[in-house]
Structure 1
Amino acid sequence: MATFVLTGAGGFLGFHVRAALQEHGHEVRSFAVGDAHDAAEAARLVAGADQLIHIAGVNRGEHEQVARGNRVFAQQVAQALRAAENPPARVVFANSTHAATDTVYGEAKREAGRIVSDAAETVGAHMQDILLPNLFGEFGRPFYNSVTATFCHLIATGQAPEVTDDKELTLLHAQDAADLLIGAVDPAGMGELTVQETVSGLRDRLQSMAGTYAKTEFPDLATRFDRDLFNTYRSFLYPEGLPLPITRHADQRGSFFEIVRSRGGTGQTSFSTTEPGITRGDHYHRRKVERFTVLAGEAEIALRKLGTDEKHVFRVSGDEPQSVDMPTFVSHNITNIGSGTLYTAFWTNDIFDPTNPDTIPEVV
């Protein structure tokens, strides 16, 4: 287990980095930058850590706010590095490809990188300045983090996104960015993880996915990008979009229910039996798409987004089957609250791999 110190741990990318670090069992510390910064506390937290990842930044606001905010944040990180006893051996700056431009934001990110790099060199740490492109991912902030978050929010709330500047985007999922920042993936391979898509193409993909999912069907998830984009869209439906109805076809012979319709990609179906009073689950997924459907018995399915205390509980029954899809980064479990055996069907979009289960323990 290694110890990581983060700035910006409460932001969009910080959320994804913390989720990735939890899977690997690493310790995570964080300190505030900006007005809430405590220099002594920051130096104490940095001391003895294995890695420091500087994520916090200002990418929206007046020019002076953007320039000053990124400079001050970097200066506070540099101060903590220089003041810490036994500073970390690796320092990472979550920079932006905009650093190559002559915009105010680009210059601010270049300057921030220089400030942190100078401090890392002073303390003998290896510095990585990782230039990240347009990020997208679950639980992004619309009208702030990315056009993807904005489009997802608009579509999920029944609005029609408009395209005003149909440029080509280089897109990277936030979990891939997290893997790059924590050192799980070599930054030299970033190009294999990015996807080129126009703004209108992004909108059309999302609208098509939303239309398919509105029928409780899964869209084509054959590619990593489509899977990650679909998971991003689903996060904007949580928790209001759950549970999902199932159509019942009945005649004198009995009833017939369709549990899953998938438009493409791999899939695995399984079922479990659970004795009365027993709870299964208490974990979350970073990339897996999963659906629970109770076939017989009475159950409560509980969900909680990482980093929050709010729990959502859905009571489901085999008498009137409903499906509950598990959003990524939402811990979940299922409890048999009936007097008999609970039968539950599970569908996931990937074939289970015991060497990479994508199942991270987290009590709901």
Structure 2
Amino acid sequence: MKVGITGGNGFIGRHLADALEDPIIFHGNLNEIDNVREFVLDCDRIYHLAGKNRADTGDILKNNIVSTANLILSMKLENKYPELIFASSQQTVWNADSEYGFTKTLEEEIIKKADRWCIYRIPNVYGPDCKPFYNSVVATFCYQVSKGEKVTINNPDVQREFIYIENLIQDLLSPEFSTYKSPNGEVLTIGEIYSFLTDRAGEHKKLKMCLDHYKREED
């Protein structure tokens, strides 16, 4: 089976590519239909991980909807229907009115136009090499703690579900079609995460691995 990945240079994409044998990484522009048609023809399965999650107002919607729709349109134009596995977000549930949550909800409906689809509603992902100050509070805290910088926490009691990258990858490798999947993570408060990286360092193995990663980068 030839497996393609959009967003192969992202955090999840890089780890997924390492877990696959000779994946086809999409390097073109998903907003350009001709690029997408060529990609679709090469693939028996596509992991659609690409998409903006931070941008000026309107840009997330404009970019992601066109990109995802182009995958489906390419399948129809080429009469080639690879399995389509989509990285959605739990923000479709708990932050549905944000531009990102709203966009993911719309993308899910587009994805279901594929013959064989699986939608993963993914919680907050963390792990070594995740990008700080982007979309991971764990990566940001690890970076700041490793540098001895001050960490600002607005509400330490806010709870979120977090999943370690390797656990997510294992789940992604076992899709179930015509359904939604919600990979199981761990519910932690923001305050607990900070504590596991400071005064309780070492008690949470996976958070310690993340912190150690950023400490090594400082050496």
TM-score class, shorter: 0.7 to 0.9
Deviation at 1:98, TM superposition (A): 0.8
How has the CA–CA distance of structure 1 residues 38 and 72 changed in structure 2, closer, same or farther, with 3 Å as cutoff? closer
Question: What is the alpha-carbon distance in structure 1 between the residues aligned to residue 9 and residue 15 of structure 2?
Answer: 10
| SS at 1:63 equivalent | coil
1:130 aligns with 2:120: yes
How has the CA–CA distance of structure 1 residues 66 and 40 changed in structure 2, closer, same or farther, with 3 Å as cutoff? closer
2:128–2:209: 8 Å Cα contact kept in structure 1?
yes
Computing the radius of gyration from Cα coordinates, the structure with the larger value is: 1
* One-letter code aligned to 1:99: T
2:17 — aligned with what?
A: 18
1:107 — aligned with what?
A: 102
Question: What is the alpha-carbon distance in structure 2 between the residues aligned to residue 231 and residue 38 of structure 1?
Answer: 39
* One-letter code aligned to 1:157: K
Match of 2:187 among 196, 200, 216: 196
Deviates more, 1:76-85 or 1:167-176: 76-85
Question: What is the alpha-carbon distance in structure 1 between the residues aligned to residue 117 and residue 25 of structure 2?
Answer: 19
Question: What is the alpha-carbon distance in structure 1 between the residues aligned to residue 181 and residue 74 of structure 2?
Answer: 28
Match of 2:170 among 179, 182, 191: 179
1:158 aligns with 2:148: yes
Aligned residues: 214
Question: What is the alpha-carbon distance in structure 2 between the residues aligned to residue 237 and residue 42 of structure 1?
Answer: 40
| SS at 1:237 equivalent | helix
Question: What is the alpha-carbon distance in structure 1 between the residues aligned to residue 77 and residue 165 of structure 2?
Answer: 31
Gaps of 5+ in 2: none
Question: What is the alpha-carbon distance in structure 2 between the residues aligned to residue 178 and residue 185 of structure 1?
Answer: 14
Deviation at 1:149, TM superposition (A): 0.8
Deviation at 1:5, TM superposition (A): 0.6
Deviation at 1:139, TM superposition (A): 0.8
Deviation at 1:62, TM superposition (A): 2.4
Match of 1:78 among 72, 75, 84: 72
How has the CA–CA distance of structure 1 residues 81 and 233 changed in structure 2, closer, same or farther, with 3 Å as cutoff? farther
| SS at 2:84 equivalent | strand
Match of 1:30 among 25, 28, 33: 25
Question: What is the alpha-carbon distance in structure 2 between the residues aligned to residue 202 and residue 138 of structure 1?
Answer: 15
* One-letter code aligned to 2:161: T
1:179–1:185: 8 Å Cα contact kept in structure 2?
no
How has the CA–CA distance of structure 1 residues 132 and 31 changed in structure 2, closer, same or farther, with 3 Å as cutoff? same
Deviation at 1:38, TM superposition (A): 4.7
1:144 aligns with 2:167: no
How has the CA–CA distance of structure 1 residues 207 and 151 changed in structure 2, closer, same or farther, with 3 Å as cutoff? same
| TM-score where L is the length of structure 1 | 0.54
Question: What is the alpha-carbon distance in structure 1 between the residues aligned to residue 65 and residue 123 of structure 2?
Answer: 20
How has the CA–CA distance of structure 1 residues 206 and 64 changed in structure 2, closer, same or farther, with 3 Å as cutoff? same
Gaps of 5+ in 1: 211-218, 221-225, 242-364
Deviation at 1:188, TM superposition (A): 5.6
Alignment of 1:31-110 (within 5 A): 31-32=26-27, 34=29, 37-84=31-78, 86-88=80-82, 90-100=83-93, 101-110=96-105
| TM-score where L is the length of structure 2 | 0.86
Aligned alpha-carbon RMSD (Å): 2.4
2:87–2:120: 8 Å Cα contact kept in structure 1?
yes
Deviation at 1:64, TM superposition (A): 0.5
1:236 aligns with 2:217: no
Question: What is the alpha-carbon distance in structure 2 between the residues aligned to residue 51 and residue 182 of structure 1?
Answer: 11
2:85–2:175: 8 Å Cα contact kept in structure 1?
no
Cα deviation 1:332-363 (Å, max 9, x = unaligned): xxxxxxxxxxxxxxxxxxxxxxxxxxxxxxxx
Bigger helix fraction: 2
Question: What is the alpha-carbon distance in structure 2 between the residues aligned to residue 40 and residue 208 of structure 1?
Answer: 53
1:44–1:84: 8 Å Cα contact kept in structure 2?
no
Deviation at 1:79, TM superposition (A): 2.8
* One-letter code aligned to 1:160: K
